[in-house]
Structure 1
Amino acid sequence: MEEFKSLRELNPQLSSSLDWEYLGSDLAEVIFSKLPTRSIVRATSVCKPWHSIIASARFSASKKPWFFLYGQNNIYLKNNQAFAFDPEANEWIKLPTSLFPLPSSQEESFVGSSGYLFSSTFARFSFAKILKRNWRDTSPLNFSRCNPLVGVYSDESDVPRFIVVGGVRFIGGLVDIEERLAVEIYDPRSDSWELCPPLPADFPSGNSSQWLSSALFRGKFYVFGISSFFISSFDLSEHFWSEVQTLRPPGVLFSFLVSCQDRLVLAGLCNSPRGPSFNLWQIDEKTMEFSEIAIMPQELLHCVFDSDEDDKFASLKCVGFGNLIYIFNEEHHKNYPACVCEFNGDSGRCSWRRIPSLPDTENNFHKIISFCSTVCLDSILRGGRDGADQKELVSFA
């Protein structure tokens, strides 16, 4: 404000509405790029010059990934609710469920990754940009499945491709021992699926995203057993699986694999004589050796899990992307408390904090779907149904 005051002192006739023009488009663009996503969208409605700057093709803003929670009620589908946490605004956003596929049955599942949302059933596979409604069905998978692992990567021509791994083929997760689900890679240009070798036999048939975690890292798609601790990687160029190894630091009860910045991270709950702790380890992708890099502060652990029961940690979940790792409790009566670990730049240091409480949930959920993903600001600002998505993003409570 001091800068604007000096402008008025130089020219008392200068109106406050013109002061902003003295910023210049370049400086205004820098300021807008630092704002949270919803604030950027709101700024497009303030005046034509601001809208022109933000809507221009050259405007870009690198935003931290959002944390998404979708509560599914298996009895009354209309009771489903969706939320997103913007770490830069430090706020939860209640999303309209119309942005997500309304499950036609209990067997339909979806997951988010790298700016895309995927829906899979035993009959179809579809995708859309996150926070967009333009859903697109793909050609049928060679092996229909539900609850698979899904990853997004770019080929040599910088075109996104989708890799689908694992999942279940039958209602209730029944397993066909005679038929393993092959890995399939989707090419959106030709609307075709390429068959690749299935998960190694060490991973039992019927493994789904409920029991596995995955991470894309340096041209490989890693699959990790949350409780089995088996790990293997699929080479996205050569299309083969690495030898299966066991990755289990001492005392770990269960853990999740996350691709975080320029490192592969294992995040898991440990049990030791001093009591439980939630630890992070950096993984050497060549040797699978691990080194501890962080431990969640005990006060945060007690905030997220405050029961004295032996199984109090069974509801723990962990997702991450970019430089953020979220740990949360999916118990409804606790209203899904969560905390986040943020890696800070090249120093490798990280900071922990509890995130605000989730907005009041109106309904009970039978299943919680969670993921961490970037949000494509470009598709919100320069796409959609005549600006409907922009208006809804601004108005989300």
Structure 2
Amino acid sequence: MTEFSNLSSDLTELILSYLPIPTLIRASTVCRLWCSIIFSPAFSATPTQIYHQKHPWFFLYGLHNTSSKNNQSFAFDPLSNLWFRLPTFPIHHQPASSCFLGADGFFLTTAPNFGYSRILKRSWRATSPLRFSRINPLLGVFGDGSGLPKFIVVGGVRFIGNLVDIEDRLAVEIYNPHLDSWELCPPLPADFRSGNSSQSLSSALFGGRFYVFGIYSCFVSSFDLLKHVWSEVQTLRPPGVVFSFLIACQDRLVLAGICNAPVGPSFNLWKIDEETMEFSEIAIMPQDLLYSLFDSDEDDKFASLKCVGMGNLIYVFNEEYHKKYPACVCEISSESVKCNWRRVPPLPSPVNKFHKVISFCSTVSLPDILGPVL
């Protein structure tokens, strides 16, 4: 047999490319050759590494209202099936929980000033102020081909004195990174006025549009990122739905939520036609998996369920502390609409009790973690 050290660099690169990111990080310390291969820009562009990037990680950030020392941050890699504990922000950079959010690749804060940090870099950047300082808005991250992130901020609420101004719909704002300025756009349609924060709405970036969906109202409308106009408000409510979340998957819009079925509550997935807003069922979570996320028989136990997704993965988790925030994941096949459900391992102990849990998905590549080679 040929020793591994005697293999050609091309063959060594091919073998290394099959390793998941956490293993690659360790492999990069083995020798200079492996390090140079793993750090090279061409390595991240190999088909296998691109395949890995299509399996987004699940990020969970727990915030404690009174002691930022109790904040914790975790990331789950679906390919290695492992959780990783992330460092939290320095104390002087800890944002208030009411305005701290996550979106693909970024942590963001909206009040009193807008700022952002790449999730694995911890380098906080401030932008010019929003025209309307707000809390609990919907946030989206998209690009214009220049490599710089653009942000869209939709809805949310602001305070007048100590009271929430429920009448102000707040204009949509889009950040231009080249000019460090915010462009004002039409606000959310009036149909969403009674619940215009991220606590009652979900959002999805798909096909050049930013979709806003009422978790309980089932109203849906989309904002055209080029024309800066809102579509007509429609209702998207499959039979029996109690509450649901709209998710942008790799090649489709998916609705995921709790449904009252004749045999009892179920967690269903529906494929959505973005042109007609018609739906067709994709899958139902196995009952034993659904009930493994809870340990009580209370009528409102499902209210603590949250759902996020990206690529071909959808994560469902319980926001309550009593079971240490259990989660499961569904992988949707791209070739055929088939789903594979499984439990996510428990969070690494110790796990604190949080007042707010922020969760989102993000693609992760080697440069995100390793940075440029020196």
Which TM-score band applies after superposition, normalised by the shorter structure? over 0.9
> Contact (CA 8 Å) 2:210, 2:225: kept in 1 or not?
yes
Q: Normalized against structure 1, the TM-score is what?
A: 0.87
Residue 14 of structure 1 corresponds to none
* SS of aligned partner of 1:309: coil
Deviations 1:299-344 (A, max 9, x none): 1011112421101111100000111000011110111111100012
Superposition pairs of residues 55-134 of structure 1, within 5 angstroms: 55-60=39-44, 61-62=49-50, 63=53, 64-98=55-89, 102-113=93-104, 115-121=105-111, 123-134=112-123
RMSD of Structure 2 on Structure 1 (CA)? 2.1
- For residues 172 and 265 of structure 1, the distance between their equivalents in structure 2, rounded to whole angstroms, comes to 39
Of 314, 335, 340, the residue aligned with 1:325 is 314
Mean CA deviation greater in 71-80 or 202-211: 202-211
Shift of 1:22: 2.9
Distance (whole Å) between structure 1 residues aligned to residue 322 and residue 35 of structure 2? 43
3-state SS of 1:31 partner: helix
The change in CA–CA distance for 1:352 and 1:238 in structure 2 (over 3 A counts) is same
- The correspondence of residues 1-397 of structure 1 with structure 2, limited to 5 A, is 6-7=1-2, 19-60=3-44, 61-62=49-50, 63=53, 64-98=55-89, 102-113=93-104, 115-121=105-111, 123-155=112-144, 157=146, 159-170=148-159, 174-204=163-193, 207-383=196-372
Partner secondary structure for residue 202 of structure 1: helix
Task: Give the Cα–Cα distance (whole angstroms) in 2 for the partners of residues 205 and 306 of structure 1.
Answer: 33
Secondary structure in structure 1 of the residue aligned to 2:131? coil
Secondary structure in 2 aligned to 1:379? helix
Q: What is the CA distance between 1:263 and its match in structure 2?
A: 0.5
1:362–1:218: structure 2 CA closer, same or farther, 3 Å change rule?
Answer: closer
Q: Is the 8 A contact 2:271 2:282 kept in 1?
A: yes
- The number of equivalent residue pairs is 367
Structure 1 residue runs of 5 or longer lacking an equivalent are 1-5, 8-18, 387-397
Which deviates further from its counterpart, 356-365 or 253-262?
Answer: 356-365
Which SS does the other structure have where 1:58 is aligned? helix
Structure 2: distance between partners of 1:40 and 1:327:
28
* Secondary structure class of the residue paired with 1:288: coil
Q: CA deviation at 1:99?
A: 7.6
In structure 2, stretches of 5+ residues that fail to align are none
Whether the 8 Å CA contact 2:201–2:215 is kept in 1: the answer is: yes
% identity of equivalent residues: 65
Please, what TM-score do these two structures have when normalized by structure 2?
0.93
**2-structure distance, mates of 1:242, 1:172:** 34
